[in-house]
Structures are given as C-alpha cells and as structure tokens.
Chain A
Amino acid sequence: MADVIGQALCLVGVGFWEPSADASVGPGAALLGARARGRASLLTLMFAEVVEKAARSARFSLSEVATIYGSAFGEMERLIQLLEGLGAPKSEVSPLRFQTSVHNASAGQLSIANHNPRFSTSLAAGRETVAMGFVEAAAWMACYDAELLLVLGDEGSPPRVHSGPSSPPLAAAFAFSPARSAPPEALRFTVERSPRAAMGLSEHRPLDANPCEPLRDLVGWLGRAPRDAFSLNEAGPTEYCLVPQ
C-alpha cells in the first residue's frame, strides 16, 4: 500500500547540467558575477546553472523563491583543497576556502547573488539524497504552498578519500508552483512511498556512482509526459516514487 507524502507537486520548470563531450566546458553559471564565478566550486557553479534554467522556465523571481538544496557530499572539491592546506608546514587554512566549504555554501552564495532573503535549507541523505529532497519538498509545499526550487547534485567521486571508481558530476533543479496558481500545462505528481517487495541492490554496497545519478533518468522521465511511476531510490526497504496525477 503506497503512502502519499504531502500534496501533489506542480512542476513548472526544470534545469539540468552534466558535462558535455567537451569536458573542458563547465557550467555557465551566469547568475554569479564574474568575481564570484571565478571563486566558486564546481558544485556552486552547477547549482547556479540549473537554478537559473529552472527559474527561467518557471518564470520565478530569484529574489523571492524558497530553495531546498540537496547533495550527498557537498563541497568535496573545496574540502580536499583545505585538507591539502592543513598538511602544509604552517597548517594555514584559507578563510575564503573555509567559509565556502560548508554544505550550504552554494545556498549562501546564490542567496547573495539573487538578493534573496527567503527560506533556504541544505540536506544530505547519501544514496537517498534525491528521494529525500523530494520528501522534504513535498512536506514543505504541504505546509507553505509557495514557489519552491528543489536543487540537487553532486560533484562526483573525490580523489584520495575515495577508493572506488570515479563518477561524473551532475545537477538538476525543479521549480514547483503553488497548486492554486499552477498553469494547466504544469506536470502534477505525488511523492509516494511503499515497502519494497524485493530488497533490490544491497544498501551496503560500495559507492560506485554519483549519489545523485537518478537525476539524469528523472529529467528524461519528466520530459516524456510520463504516465508511469518513477522510482527515486534503487535500494533500501522503502521505495520512494514520483507518481503522475
């Protein structure tokens, strides 16, 4: 028996970024000024790119929209840079790098760039980051029913602290409109959970892919005007799905 979480979400915009065949081309991240862009991590650049795309297609004002960010590992690139500095003879830690190493650094930088004083949060849920991002979004919409951006992504496997295969970065943003003001063409779906009949893959297997990997298939699914459900997590005793309404 599936359990519906919160209320139906009305999707009015999507942004997606992953490296192109030319891996030297990074996210444009036009939201950030040139100076901020030059100092930003890959995660922040990806988030700026997908936020801009989703907000533009949803016609949201970036100075007024609430945001939920999700990333399993957050600012790993920045953390590795800091760990290198910590090992140096004088053990110096760059204040700029330190303040941009926190999990909500992207949220902070984008709120500054967009002059946005609204609600913002950042979460992490390992392999279930995408699923839990949608659960938090559905609960938030049930409480506030206001414009919301859900922004998810990970940089990929960091070197030196990860012994498994490397995985490419990717990120996506989803713009949700209040039900009362959503246009007819908005894609409406519920977030649902149910006990998983077969356990699927082991939850305890090694990390072999970007934890936000489901985003690629999810964005493809959304683009097909779906009628079938989309599973947000491939393992674990509970399955979280998006179900079109």
Chain B
Amino acid sequence: MPLARSIAPAFCTDYALCNALGTTRTEVLSKLALGQSGLGAPTRFALPFETRVGELQELLPPLPQGMERWESRIARLALMLAESIRPGIARATQRWGADRVAVVLGTSTGGLLETEQAYRSASAEKPLPRGYSLLNTHSLSATAELLKEALGLRGPAWMVSTACSSSAKALASAQRLLHAGVVDAVLTGGVDVLSELTLFGFHGLGILSETNCRPFADTRDGTSLGEGGALLLLERTGDAAVALVGSGETSDAFHLSAPEPEGRGAEQAMRAALLQAGLTPAAIGYINAHGTGTPLNDAAEALAIARVFGKEPWVASTKGYTGHLLGAAGATEAAFCVAALEQGSTPASLGSMPGQSELNIRVSHGATPFLSRYALSNSFAFGGSNISLVFERVQNG
C-alpha cells in the first residue's frame, strides 16, 4: 500500500494563472467558463509537422534591473505570475516572517529554450551568448531562486522536476513543509515554456495530435502542448476558500514514457490521496483528469477512475483549453480545481462530445454545477510518476 498518513490542510490564500487563455487569473477563468480554447497554430516555431499549441499570447515583461542574470522566458513568466499576487505574498511574509516562507515550484524544462539558442550559437571558437549562464539561465532551480530574491523570501527553495507531474508534486512537497512545521507559508506552483526540443521530442514519440487535442473522445489521437504557469500561496492558516487536504504519490514501475495499461499506479495514487484526506470516493464531486488526449493515457486513467469512483464524479480534462503544460500542468489544474470549488461548477472537457466516448466515466461536456466540497486532480508523467491531489472547499482556515 502507498503511504497515506493524515496531513494538516494547506490553505490556498491566493493564486495566479497565466497560459494560452490569458495572462491574468480573471481572463483565464472567464475563458475556461465560456469553453473557449486557447490552442492554435504555432507562431514561434517553424515545424516540419502539423500540430496545435497553447502559446502565451502576450509579450512577457523583461526582468527588472538587478535581476537580469536570471533573464529567460520562463523567468519572465514566473515573475509576472508572482507580481500578480505580490500583495498576498507580502502579507504572508509580514505575518510569518521571510524565513518562514518557502518557494517550491515545478518545471520540466527550466531554461531549455535559451540553452537551445546558446548551443546553436556557441562553438569552439565562439563563446556562449552574453548573459547566458548554465546556473542562472538553464538550471531548473533558477526560477525558484529568482522568486526568492525578487520577493525577499528567505525560506527553503527548490524546484521539483518529475516531468509532467512536477508542479503537482511541488504542491505535495509544500504541504509536507507546512505539516512538518518547517515553514508557515509556501509559494508553490509551476512554470514551463515551449521549446523546439520539447515539440520535436513529443513528435518523435508519436503522441502529438495534428488538431486540437480531444481528451476522452473516441477520436482522440494525441496531445497538444502548451506553455504557462500557476502559482498558489499555501499557508498553515489563513483566509481561504479552498485547502489542499491530501495527496497520493506512486510510481508505475512499468515504462519510461507509456502508462501502465490498467492504470494501477494511477489508481493507487487516487486511493492514497483519499485515504490521506480521510475521505471515501463518494465524497469527490469533480475530478480534473490528467487527460492528455493520447489513446493510451486516457484509457488507462479512465479505467483507474472507474475502479475507484465508478461513474459518479464529473470528470474533465482542461488540456483542450491550455494544451499540455508539462511541468506546469499539475499546478494549473490544481488552480482550476480551486476555482471549480469556489464556483461550485466544473469546466467542460473540451474535445469530447456527448455520446462520443466509450470510456466508462462521467465526462463533463459543459459547465456543470456540483455540490460536493471536494475535488481531485490527477497528474501523471514520464518515469511512471503519478500523483493525485484532493482539495476541499472550506470556511476560512
């Protein structure tokens, strides 16, 4: 059995979102509610194959003076997200002390985009581009270090990097820090940006759709990649509508990039998360599925969901809106769960129409009200990494 001791709730006192749907939380959530997809043809990459991507639509502001050593697209994205919830972070810092606020984020690619450019331009005779640094530009942890310095935080800081489960696992790690009393607040979440290597890599694996991804539809034929991020401020106590109340983490121990076909690892992750939250499956009203849109992933996840929950909870994948945000997917979808609990309504699972799915789960085809106080979010990844998070609608922590 996976480990599932009870854990103290982590109260979500603020959160920020940015992806192909928009650059602010309000913009992103309003388009999610309207069922508008942010996917489109790639504009930043000349690709010799057809695919659709969720690119950020606006220019990201450059890093301020004194922070230039971290300059990269992912750093700009992370700082823009942090700036949008700076008042909340400042309040938490004042309340708990800068030493008691940690930064734990997730990413899969870090500064890979700039490393691709640096690698192309450098040679034995030609030095690396001015400003490029393996430590501050490429390194996965550079973004966490940037946020720590920019926000004046002094608690522990690291990046979780477990491919597509990275930022969901960052949230679980943040909850452990709170439960263990290491800190009183954690700025957590995840960021990832598109790069050529990522697009070519997923294409090489044969798992990119040529059209918008269609999670859980019988016609699904692959995923669509995207870029973006989400930051969540989790605190020991605080003025919050939603809390993270449990997580379950397992390994498939099966294959590096393909899911175990029966979804056993995913099932154990969901059961462990429920156990840690002290809930039965019937308590969950909404599941934000990993739902990448590949035939194998969705089939395995649906089998696992059906075994744990039957057909009761509403299930939606939000990758048809944003694309698969890789290391940022887990945090983004956790934020979507927070929003769903705040609003009491699920988003529609874009790409799947009523009567189009033979999978034995209850897919949400439109914005659907639900009464339950609990939602669950799944994230699965290369390396057979599985995590499920459980969120609860609460009255101020």
Please give the residue numbers on chain A whose beta carbons come within 8 Å of chain B beta carbons, in ascending order. 3, 5-7, 66, 72-74, 79-80, 82-83, 86-87, 91-95, 98-105, 107-109, 111-112, 114-129, 132, 135-136, 138-140, 142-146, 157-158, 160-163, 193, 195, 204, 206-207, 237-238
**Contact stretch, chosen from B193-201, B225-233, B292-300, B331-339:** B193-201
Indicate if the CB atoms of B134 and A158 lie closer than 8 Å.
Answer: yes
* A140 interface neighbour in B133, B176, B252, B256, Cβ under 8 Å: B176
Contacts of A104 in B (CB 8 A): 161-163, 381-383, 385
13 A-B pairs with CB atoms under 8 Å apart are A86-B197, A102-B381, A102-B383, A104-B383, A108-B256, A109-B383, A119-B251, A121-B385, A124-B141, A126-B139, A132-B156, A136-B176, A161-B138
A7: nearest residue on chain B (CB-CB)? B180
Indicate if the CB atoms of B249 and A100 lie closer than 8 Å.
Answer: no
Indicate if the CB atoms of A117 and B204 lie closer than 8 Å.
Answer: no
User: Which one of A80, A94, A104, A114 has the greatest number of beta carbons of chain B within 10 Å?
Assistant: A104
Contacts of A103 in B (CB 8 A): 108, 140, 161-163
* A107 interface neighbour in B118, B119, B385, Cβ under 8 Å: B385
* B180 interface neighbour in A5, A91, A99, A115, Cβ under 8 Å: A5
**Contact stretch, chosen from B120-128, B236-244, B307-315, B354-362:** B120-128
Given A74-B161, A119-B251, A237-B154, 18 additional A-B pairs, CB 8 A: A66-B3, A86-B196, A92-B200, A95-B205, A101-B201, A108-B384, A111-B253, A116-B253, A117-B250, A117-B265, A125-B141, A126-B135, A126-B141, A128-B158, A139-B179, A143-B179, A144-B3, A207-B133
Contacts of A87 in B (CB 8 A): 119-120
User: Which one of A105, A107, A108 has the greatest number of beta carbons of chain B within 10 Å?
Assistant: A108
Indicate if the CB atoms of A107 and B205 lie closer than 8 Å.
Answer: no
A94-B204, A136-B173, A142-B180 known; A122-B139 Cβ under 8 A = no
B326: nearest residue on chain A (CB-CB)? A102
Interface string of B102-119 (1 = CB under 8 A from A): 000000101010011011
Indicate if the CB atoms of B205 and A120 lie closer than 8 Å.
Answer: no
Cβ distance A224 to chain B, nearest Cβ, rounded Å:
27
Indicate if the CB atoms of B383 and A126 lie closer than 8 Å.
Answer: no
B254: nearest residue on chain A (CB-CB)? A112
B273 at the interface (CB under 8 A from A): no
Indicate if the CB atoms of A126 and B134 lie closer than 8 Å.
Answer: no
User: Which are the 5 A-B pairs with shortest beta-carbon distances?
Assistant: A108-B383, A103-B161, A142-B180, A98-B201, A125-B158
Contacts of B138 in A (CB 8 A): 73, 161
Report the separation of the CA atoms of residues A117 and B260 in the bound assembly, to the nearest whole angstrom: 12
Indicate if the CB atoms of B3 and A139 lie closer than 8 Å.
Answer: no
A104-B162, A125-B159 known; A142-B179 Cβ under 8 A = yes
Query: What's the dominant secondary structure at chain A's contact region?
Result: mixed
Please give the residue numbers on chain B whose beta carbons come within 8 Å of chain A beta carbons, in ascending order. 2-3, 5, 7, 48, 69, 99, 108, 110, 112, 115-116, 118-120, 122, 127-128, 132-135, 138-142, 144-145, 154, 156-163, 169, 173, 176-177, 179-182, 196-197, 200-206, 249-257, 264-265, 268, 381-385
Report the separation of the CA atoms of residues A206 and B241 in the bound assembly, to the nearest whole angstrom: 44
Report the separation of the CA atoms of residues A115 and B48 in the bound assembly, to the nearest whole angstrom: 39
User: Which one of B116, B201, B250 has the greatest number of beta carbons of chain A within 10 Å?
Assistant: B201
Indicate if the CB atoms of A98 and B135 lie closer than 8 Å.
Answer: no
Report the separation of the CA atoms of residues A126 and B382 in the bound assembly, to the nearest whole angstrom: 23
Contacts of B154 in A (CB 8 A): 237-238
* A118 interface neighbour in B99, B139, B250, Cβ under 8 Å: B250
Contacts of B135 in A (CB 8 A): 126-127, 206-207
Indicate if the CB atoms of B256 and A100 lie closer than 8 Å.
Answer: yes
Report the separation of the CA atoms of residues A6 and B202 in the bound assembly, to the nearest whole angstrom: 40
Contacts of B169 in A (CB 8 A): 121
Cβ distance B62 to chain A, nearest Cβ, rounded Å:
19
* A132 interface neighbour in B48, B112, B158, Cβ under 8 Å: B158
Indicate if the CB atoms of B157 and A125 lie closer than 8 Å.
Answer: yes
Indicate if the CB atoms of A112 and B253 lie closer than 8 Å.
Answer: yes
A93-B204, A99-B257 known; A123-B156 Cβ under 8 A = no
Indicate if the CB atoms of B182 and A135 lie closer than 8 Å.
Answer: yes
* B122 interface neighbour in A112, A161, A237, Cβ under 8 Å: A161
Contacts of B256 in A (CB 8 A): 99-100, 105, 108-109, 112
A70: nearest residue on chain B (CB-CB)? B158
Report the separation of the CA atoms of residues A123 and B138 in the bound assembly, to the nearest whole angstrom: 15
Contacts of B120 in A (CB 8 A): 87
Cβ distance B210 to chain A, nearest Cβ, rounded Å:
18
Report the separation of the CA atoms of residues A138 and B139 in the bound assembly, to the nearest whole angstrom: 24
Contacts of B116 in A (CB 8 A): 83, 86
Indicate if the CB atoms of A124 and B177 lie closer than 8 Å.
Answer: no
Contacts of B127 in A (CB 8 A): 163
Indicate if the CB atoms of B251 and A118 lie closer than 8 Å.
Answer: yes
Report the separation of the CA atoms of residues A86 and B265 in the bound assembly, to the nearest whole angstrom: 33
Indicate if the CB atoms of A144 and B251 lie closer than 8 Å.
Answer: no
B123: nearest residue on chain A (CB-CB)? A160
Contacts of B110 in A (CB 8 A): 124
Indicate if the CB atoms of A163 and B156 lie closer than 8 Å.
Answer: no
Cβ distance A163 to chain B, nearest Cβ, rounded Å:
5
Cβ distance A95 to chain B, nearest Cβ, rounded Å:
5
Report the separation of the CA atoms of residues A132 and B173 in the bound assembly, to the nearest whole angstrom: 12
Report the separation of the CA atoms of residues A245 and B161 in the bound assembly, to the nearest whole angstrom: 32
Indicate if the CB atoms of A124 and B161 lie closer than 8 Å.
Answer: yes
Contacts of B157 in A (CB 8 A): 125, 128, 132
Indicate if the CB atoms of B176 and A98 lie closer than 8 Å.
Answer: no
Contacts of A123 in B (CB 8 A): 158-161, 173
